[in-house]
Amino acid sequence: MKLIFHKILCVTAFLSISLSQTGCTKEKAEAVKAAAQNFQVEADKALQRTSLLVKASITTTPQAKEAELRTLVIEIEQKERNPQKLRLTLDGVMDRYKTTRSAGRTIDGEFGKMMNEYAIFADMFENLPRGHLFSKHSVAAAERHGVRLTLRFVKMAEDIDIRPVKFEAQRNQLAVDLVGAKALTDVTQRTQAIQIVAQKALDLRAAERTANEEAILQCLKAAEAGKTATELISNYSRMSVADMVNAVSESLGALNQITGGDNVQIKTLLGKYNSFVDSKIKTDPLWKSVWDTEVNL
């Protein structure tokens, strides 16, 4: 990732040197290409981060054999003497990891499809510097595509903020562990076991918060990169090379400013990008059309 970031900086520096030269169309094309590539880089990181967040909701922490045995005994003791229900309990234990792997593959598949969209978007501009010029049709198609891919990340960040992902499988495991701890007859052992579960609960709460916040921040980074790429595409014929260089440089600076912090800082960043989207939807028919028909469904 550092090499790609360095490459983008080099392209920006190259464009700055080129400002004094005539015939800057190729340099403008290079700026759009660099912005699109950066969008793909940030999008890949956001989708990978969010994919891990979703998979964490179905993943359990491996237990020692003794602990798993105690858990199974407790589950069986709590069930009625119903062969069908007991069979379901045993099947759940034996198929747990198989089910988790299957769900994980499904998640990987869905996020893989989205990652491919951003790769296709970046590829659209790979050979642009050779041809230099956009046709009107190409501009319209690329801009709409960029708007949709950018809006996706703003909405994704907002959705995670409103409905944070919970690590349900691990929460369920803690509940079972707590039942087992409370079932201990020795007072000292019971107290120690409950304290261990309580500490695990606090650790899990912190892990959930960190994972959700990191996903939100990376989604906003991707949105920032997409905003810049889309701006350059939309204004390709109107912006000077200097304007494009400044836009790319400012975007890189903005990405560096999107860092971790407390909840207030994250809310502020979310507010900034939500305000941007609200403004674009109110003033730009294209953004409104994409939001209404392709994103906010």
User: What is the average per-residue pLDDT within 33-62?
Assistant: 91
Domain span at residue 76 reads 2-126+134-164+213-295
Asked whether residue 35 carries a pLDDT value surpassing 80, the answer given is yes
Task: List strand residue ranges (DSSP E) for the chain, in order.
Answer: none
Opening angle at CA 27, ends 25 and 30, nearest 5:
115
What is the count of structural domains for the chain?
Answer: 1
Least-confidence region, from 44-48, 177-181, 207-211, 270-274: 177-181
**What is the pLDDT at residue 12?**
42
Please check whether residue 184 lies inside any domain of the structure: no
Over the stretch 134-170, which tens digit does the pLDDT of each residue have? 555 666 678 999 999 999 999 999 999 999 999 998 9
Query: Tokens 């912006």 map to which residue?
Result: 239
Please check whether residue 34 lies inside any domain of the structure: yes
Question: Model confidence at 172, in pLDDT bands (50, 70, 90)?
Answer: confident
Amino acid at position 127, single letter: N
Question: Model confidence at 131, in pLDDT bands (50, 70, 90)?
Answer: low
**What is the pLDDT at residue 255?**
87
Which one has a higher pLDDT value, 277 or 182?
A: 277
Which one has a higher pLDDT value, 216 or 125?
A: 216
Asked whether residue 7 carries a pLDDT value surpassing 80, the answer given is no
Distance CA 121, CA 137 (A): 15
Report the candidate in 226, 71, 206, 208 with the shortest Cα–Cα distance to residue 146: 226
User: What is the average per-residue pLDDT within 209-234?
Assistant: 94
Distance CA 93, CA 241 (A): 62
Distance CA 63, CA 28 (A): 57
What length is written for the chain? 297
How is residue 210 written in tokens?
């960190």
Identify which of 62-76, 83-97, 201-215, 250-264 has the greatest average pLDDT. 201-215
Distance CA 9, CA 217 (A): 22
Please check whether residue 152 lies inside any domain of the structure: yes
**What is the pLDDT at residue 22?**
32
Mean pLDDT computed over every residue of the chain: 82
Asked whether residue 296 carries a pLDDT value surpassing 90, the answer given is no
Least-confidence region, from 101-110, 192-201, 216-225: 101-110
Q: Please, what is the end-to-end C-alpha distance for the chain in angstroms?
A: 33
Helices 83-123 + 25-56 axis angle, to 10:
170
Please check whether residue 181 lies inside any domain of the structure: no
Asked whether residue 281 carries a pLDDT value surpassing 70, the answer given is yes
CB 5 within 8 A of CB 196: no
Which one has a higher pLDDT value, 134 or 176?
A: 176
CB 52 within 8 A of CB 45: no
Q: Classify the phi-psi angles of 3: left when phi > 0, otherwise alpha if psi is within -120 to 50, otherwise beta.
A: alpha
Question: Model confidence at 2, in pLDDT bands (50, 70, 90)?
Answer: very low
**What is the pLDDT at residue 63?**
60
Amino acid at position 51, single letter: S
Asked whether residue 256 carries a pLDDT value surpassing 90, the answer given is no
Task: List strand residue ranges (DSSP E) for 162-267, in order.
Answer: none
b (16+ CB within 10 A) / e for 267-292 = eebbeebeebbeebbeeeeebeebbe
User: What is the average per-residue pLDDT within 264-277?
Assistant: 91
Write down the pTM of the prediction.
0.79
Please check whether residue 178 lies inside any domain of the structure: no
Distance CA 177, CA 100 (A): 20
Distance CA 262, CA 253 (A): 21
Question: Model confidence at 17, in pLDDT bands (50, 70, 90)?
Answer: very low
